[in-house]
Amino acid sequence: MELRKYDEQSLKKLQKIELEMLHDFVDICEKHHLQYFGIGGTAIGALRHQGFIPWDDDIDLAFVRSDYERFCKIVEKDYSNKYYILRYESNKAYPLFTARMCKKGTVFQEHAMKNVDCPFGIFLDLYAYDNVPDDRREMKKQAAAAWVYSKLLILCSIEQPNLVQLFGWKKKAALAACKVAHHMIKLLHISTDGIVYRCKKCCTRYNKQDTKRLAYLTEAKPYGSMIKKKDLFPLIQMPFEDLKLNFPNHMHEMMTAYYGDYMQLPPEEKRYNHCPYQLKFGDEEESSVWEKEK
């Protein structure tokens, strides 16, 4: 996936709406004593830019599983006039293991999702972190199974997913394999309910045990999000635009494991965003709708 070229006005407006949503998100978490932490591009943005990465178009936020589940239920129950939670539990066409807090009346449909029948809105990305076992072999078994199930769920709906970690011939080969897998899944009538049940059971297997590490196990890069609890807690606050957000106490190892030298700007060909196929801001007079060339 290449970087989608926003016009400056549209990107700034999108980021402004996401920042307004982020204010509400923080208020909800503080009111209900939920511990969240910024990850991914949001963490890099805070460290390198004290806000959004200039070309970025989303915000990445995480919880431990129990707070993640509570947050989703609170928004669905108490804030449904303004927001909705998009996840498999609320819409079985949704092909990801993240949840999205979406703003009602908006549209943000990525190019890869253009044939997925979901109410995609301008969103904050929400991730659930689960315990992983201290035994390395058991951890690898858990992570590998979760990774496979999560990719199967995507391929149930999407023939050509966004392979943002791959380039060149590796990406072409992987996309060809995805196409074959997608049609095999359709041919075999594999149940998405079964995939989701097995994946969630796998992810939460060790949540009642006292372990030293946590991870978002359905990450694109296996083991990329793993963090020691002693490096995560206590959370620290860092500036992000006009807010102070929670982040892991020691982010360097986590960021380095996933991104390498994250303080250096990547070359343009390795910068990416969510590539909107349709974008509506929710204001009839100021809406923007894009359709990428088919």
Sign, CA torsion 1/251/222/125: negative
pTM here is 0.89
Query: Which residue has better confidence, 126 or 184?
Result: 126
Tell me the average pLDDT across 50-77.
Answer: 96
Confidence of residue 294 (pLDDT cuts 50, 70, 90): very low
The contacts of residue 92 (CB under 8 Å, 6+ apart) are 192, 193
pLDDT tens-digit series, residues 177-208: 667 766 677 777 778 999 999 999 999 999 99
Most confident of 138-147, 184-193, 278-287: 138-147
Average pLDDT for the chain: 87
Confidence of residue 272 (pLDDT cuts 50, 70, 90): confident
Nearest to 69 by CA among 90, 51, 83, 43: 90
pLDDT at 266: 76
Confidence of residue 292 (pLDDT cuts 50, 70, 90): very low
Domain residue ranges in the chain: 8-130+216-286
Q: Report the C-alpha gap between 273 and 5 in whole angstroms.
A: 9
Residue 265: its H or E element:
none
Most confident of 61-75, 144-158, 176-190: 61-75
Confidence of residue 7 (pLDDT cuts 50, 70, 90): confident
- Amino acid present at 58: D
pLDDT tens-digit series, residues 222-244: 788 899 999 999 999 999 999 99
Confidence of residue 168 (pLDDT cuts 50, 70, 90): low
* DSSP for 67-110, written as a single string: HHHHHHHHHHHHSTTTEEEESTTT-TT---SSEEEEETT-EEEE
pLDDT at 187: 75
Q: For 8-130+216-286, CATH number?
A: 3.30.460
